Structure 1
Amino acid sequence: MKLTTVTRAFTRLALHTSVALPLVLAPAVSVTVLESAGMKVSFAQAQAQQKTRKVPAMRENVFKKLGKVQEAADAENWNEALAALREMEAGKAKYNGYETAQMYYFYGFVYYSMERYKEAITYYKKVLAQGAENLPVALEVGTLLTIAQLYFVTENYDQALNYLNKWFAAAEKDQITADSYALRAQAYYQKGDNGKALSDINTAVSMYEKEGKVPKENWFGLQRFLYYEKNDYKKVTSILEKLVKHYPKAEYYKQLAGMYGELKRDKDQLHMMEAAYIAGALQKEKELLNMAYLFMGNEMPYKGAKVIKKGLAEKKIKRTSKNLETLAQAYQMAQELQKSIPELEAAAQLSDKGDIYSRLAGIYLDLDKNQKAVEMGAKALKKGGIKRPDQLYIVLGMANANLKKYDTALKHLKEAKKYDRSKKFAEQWIAFVESEKKREEQLAI
């Protein structure tokens, strides 16, 4: 069973448009939003949560220059914003460390907004390069997270983890949430460190569940995949049970049914597959036939027949000799012999061998329809390729004997006698037919 994995595309899309616009009126402007992970820390929250740190003040002339950048950014006029920043940078020798950090932060934001991620990373790093003594704690911590995010976007997972771990070390305890662990789990997964990825995603899921919240679907998805890689099918099953409950989708029904099968929980597998079928989740021929086989194997052959019959009608199951034969078998198992016969005849016509006609001959004999048995037997012999011709000859011998066609009956029974498996039975019938023939001849005198 192939399970859905966390892809790189998810990371790129999830992190898109995730850096919030800086606020020049704030003493620190690091607001990093990770929409996909649910991490959204406003400046006010960050300021309230972080330890305070005394830094140089921003002077009015620098404030006004940043205001021009802000105005251009608000209008999404990125080139104008860059021009204003370059004009500022020309006089950066006069700025203190905090003012310089603010300028570089705006540079990073503008380049991010232009999707020029490498330049954005360069400038965000310059923010940190101003030193802790010039950075409010919120600005420093937020910038670490922003850089980690941008390394995700550029698929540099080594550096993404480097900066994300720095953020974990620097952030306040109540800032590190389940979403934080989920994000780092995705990073470890991308790096191939499944052990650490599993530890973090388990922490994320556990934190949510302790709060009475339903973990996010993609968290369960990553958790399920990582346990599957460890061949821990019991864990995979328990996660899929949560997915079916909270995020019911066709693929989860089918995967859970597959896991129940791996664990030999046959009844549970049947019930889950039936739930998937009722929900319309089974659409492919193989899936529908598997559903029918499960019903047949669990002593519910008529349900199996209905699945195949419906699949044939909707052209989701191909009208092949094998599929029609399976349908007939399901009807036979359900004691619906009259319904099985037309399906078997259709299957026999499509088959390139005579075996199905041979089976039909036996069925018609049991139903005391001797002429039909003879007709089916003749068709079987004509097609050839019969696995047990001796049995067919016995059937033809018996059917012809019942029709009082004793010479023809003896002919077929003598053919059956040539096979060791049927020799004794054929001899008994030969003796009986010869006796009946003689009796009939005597009555005719």
Structure 2
Amino acid sequence: MMIRSFKMSAVALVLGAGTMFTSSAALAQSSAVVCPGYEKGKTTLVGERTGKKVQKAFEFYNEDQVDEALNILYDIDPSDDFDKAYVKRFIGNLLASQEGKGMKAYGFLADSVQPKVLNDLEHSQTLKLLGDLSMQEEKFTDAVKWYNAWMDFTCKEDADVYTRLTQAYYESKQLDKMIEPADKAIALYEEPNKNPYVLKLTSFYERKMYPETVAVAEELVRKFPEEPRWWSQLGFFYLSVEDYKKALSTFELAYIQGYLEKESEIKALSQLYQTNGMPYRGAKVMEKYMKSGLLEEDEKMLASLANAYHSAKEFKTAASLYGKAAEMSSDPELYKKQGTLLLVAEDYKGAIKALENALDRGVEKPAKVHFTLMEANFYAGNFKEAFRHIQEAKKDRSLRRNASAWEPYIKEKAKNRGISI
């Protein structure tokens, strides 16, 4: 899963630090803490000596001279605990706005909240920022700590924070803890947001909780029906729980809407048609996308297409495709399948040729091929060849009884035709 970047704009980062220089109206902000019984205390301001230097730093910042602002802040050595925390927070905010300074910013910000002397708004903002920086710097266990600290301090519930907390649990391999914050995020978003659903699905899937995974995937399709990937993922999840009917209906609906574009998706749809007793449809889908080029026309794909037509009892078509696949691969088993189907289709000459190709290429269990060659030659009127192949078939103990039963029948037919065996 991709790690989300939580970099924030410099304006957002220093807003808290700059409020002391804004009008009194701007200070009338919503409460930073909503815990039961909470009463907002007096706002603490930095001391006069520290305040003058902070004012100068802020002026540099307003001129986009961040390094100059930082140099002033680094030189401040306040004795008051609040002033120390305030300056460290300001430094951390500015560093967080700079590329590659995340870890340095993290140190200053963590130090600023440790004594718990900042004003409530500044403290709460910093706790959340520490969570975001922890995610950015891949300190996922720390991110969990800071996001929970923010919620404990403010008693607020925020959909984005719950989503980030869920991801932090995922990245720190605490998969079982992901569900509760994901559910809270889902409930809090005014408009459906896919991220907590995806994280929840990932938690269930990676813990091999497939029925629960399916339930979340179904919800994703309901909430975001215009997203093609949720349809195909749901179809594959149905496959994982062996619900082939729902898998087919899902893939079929996605196919009708034009959502299936990947080779794996088309193969799945074709296979599901076959699994659900519609091999001809499966073959036609496969054939269509072989012609379009999405499915490669190699020996494996040709053999799969042949299997589909075979299941649909389209024996001549299947035999032709087995033959093409066999020519590409020189696989004796494919020649054997071709020959067997041509025998069923009463193309005895073609069957003999294909089956002999199978023997020439070292087919497994050759006695069975000899038995089939006996049948093909017999029905083609080649009784001498039929008799020769029956002798080979008799060498296999499992075929000996059936082969022996054919032997007198072949002799009789040959005799009736005046053929000496």
Change (3 A) 1:146 1:23: closer
Q: Which residue of 2 aligns with 1:263?
A: 241
Q: Which residue of 1 aligns with 2:212?
A: 235
Question: Is 2:67 the counterpart of 1:79?
Answer: yes
CA distance in 2, matches of 1:373, 1:154: 68
CA distance in 1, matches of 2:358, 2:14: 81
CA distance in 2, matches of 1:131, 1:362: 84
Tell me the secondary structure at the aligned position of residue 335 of structure 1: coil
How far 1:128 sits from its partner (Å)? 4.3
| Residues 205-233 of structure 1 deviation map (CA, whole Å, 9 limit, x = unaligned) | 2334xx6x31x222112211222344322
How far 1:274 sits from its partner (Å)? 3.7
From 35, 52, 68, the equivalent of 2:56 is 68
Moved more, 321-330 or 151-160: 151-160
Question: Is 2:137 the counterpart of 1:154?
Answer: yes
Q: Which residue of 2 aligns with 1:32?
A: none
Asked if the contact 1:260–1:266 (Cα under 8 Å) also holds between the matched residues in 2, the reply is: yes
Asked if the contact 1:292–1:304 (Cα under 8 Å) also holds between the matched residues in 2, the reply is: yes
Asked if the contact 1:85–1:107 (Cα under 8 Å) also holds between the matched residues in 2, the reply is: yes
User: Following superposition of structure 1 onto structure 2, how do residues 133-152 of structure 1 map, counting pairs within 5 Å?
Assistant: 135-152=118-135
Tell me the secondary structure at the aligned position of residue 20 of structure 1: helix
Change (3 A) 1:324 1:66: same
Q: Which residue of 1 aligns with 2:41?
A: 53
Asked if the contact 1:101–1:128 (Cα under 8 Å) also holds between the matched residues in 2, the reply is: yes
| Runs of 5+ unmatched residues, structure 1 | 30-41
CA distance in 2, matches of 1:187, 1:102: 28
How far 1:269 sits from its partner (Å)? 1.6
User: Following superposition of structure 1 onto structure 2, how do residues 2-81 of structure 1 map, counting pairs within 5 Å?
Assistant: 5=1, 7=2, 9-10=3-4, 13-17=5-9, 19-22=12-15, 26-27=19-20, 44-47=28-31, 51-56=39-44, 65-81=53-69
CA distance in 2, matches of 1:312, 1:302: 15
Tell me the secondary structure at the aligned position of residue 344 of structure 1: helix
Asked if the contact 1:370–1:403 (Cα under 8 Å) also holds between the matched residues in 2, the reply is: yes
Change (3 A) 1:254 1:434: same
Change (3 A) 1:220 1:43: farther
What's the TM-score, normalizing by structure 1? 0.76
How far 1:339 sits from its partner (Å)? 2.0
CA distance in 2, matches of 1:123, 1:357: 74
How far 1:268 sits from its partner (Å)? 0.8
Q: Which residue of 2 aligns with 1:440?
A: 417
Q: Percent identity?
A: 24
How far 1:98 sits from its partner (Å)? 6.0
Tell me the secondary structure at the aligned position of residue 14 of structure 1: coil
From 342, 355, 364, the equivalent of 1:364 is 342
Change (3 A) 1:232 1:281: same
CA distance in 2, matches of 1:397, 1:121: 83
CA distance in 2, matches of 1:129, 1:362: 81
| Residues 378-433 of structure 1 deviation map (CA, whole Å, 9 limit, x = unaligned) | 3333333243534x434444444444443333333343344444444444544334
Question: Is 2:262 the counterpart of 1:283?
Answer: yes
CA distance in 2, matches of 1:293, 1:260: 14
Change (3 A) 1:183 1:283: closer
From 72, 82, 92, the equivalent of 1:108 is 92
Change (3 A) 1:75 1:274: farther
Asked if the contact 2:316–2:341 (Cα under 8 Å) also holds between the matched residues in 1, the reply is: no
From 150, 162, 181, the equivalent of 1:167 is 150
Tell me the secondary structure at the aligned position of residue 299 of structure 1: coil
Letter in 1 for 2:15: P
Question: Is 2:316 the counterpart of 1:338?
Answer: yes
Asked if the contact 2:159–2:184 (Cα under 8 Å) also holds between the matched residues in 1, the reply is: yes
Asked if the contact 1:56–1:97 (Cα under 8 Å) also holds between the matched residues in 2, the reply is: no
Asked if the contact 2:163–2:185 (Cα under 8 Å) also holds between the matched residues in 1, the reply is: yes
Asked if the contact 1:233–1:259 (Cα under 8 Å) also holds between the matched residues in 2, the reply is: yes
Change (3 A) 1:334 1:160: closer
How far 1:354 sits from its partner (Å)? 3.4
User: Following superposition of structure 1 onto structure 2, how do residues 192-231 of structure 1 map, counting pairs within 5 Å?
Assistant: 192-208=173-189, 213-214=191-192, 216-231=193-208
Change (3 A) 1:387 1:137: same
Q: How many residues align?
A: 408
| Runs of 5+ unmatched residues, structure 2 | none
Letter in 1 for 2:179: L
CA distance in 2, matches of 1:157, 1:394: 68
Q: Which has the higher contact order (CA 8 A, sep 6+)?
A: 1
Q: Which residue of 1 aligns with 2:162?
A: 181
Asked if the contact 1:182–1:204 (Cα under 8 Å) also holds between the matched residues in 2, the reply is: yes
Asked if the contact 2:16–2:122 (Cα under 8 Å) also holds between the matched residues in 1, the reply is: no
CA distance in 2, matches of 1:198, 1:205: 10
How far 1:344 sits from its partner (Å)? 1.9
CA distance in 2, matches of 1:157, 1:409: 75
Asked if the contact 2:352–2:376 (Cα under 8 Å) also holds between the matched residues in 1, the reply is: yes
Asked if the contact 2:86–2:112 (Cα under 8 Å) also holds between the matched residues in 1, the reply is: yes
Q: Which residue of 1 aligns with 2:370?
A: 393
Change (3 A) 1:136 1:396: closer
Change (3 A) 1:415 1:320: same
Moved more, 265-274 or 433-442: 433-442
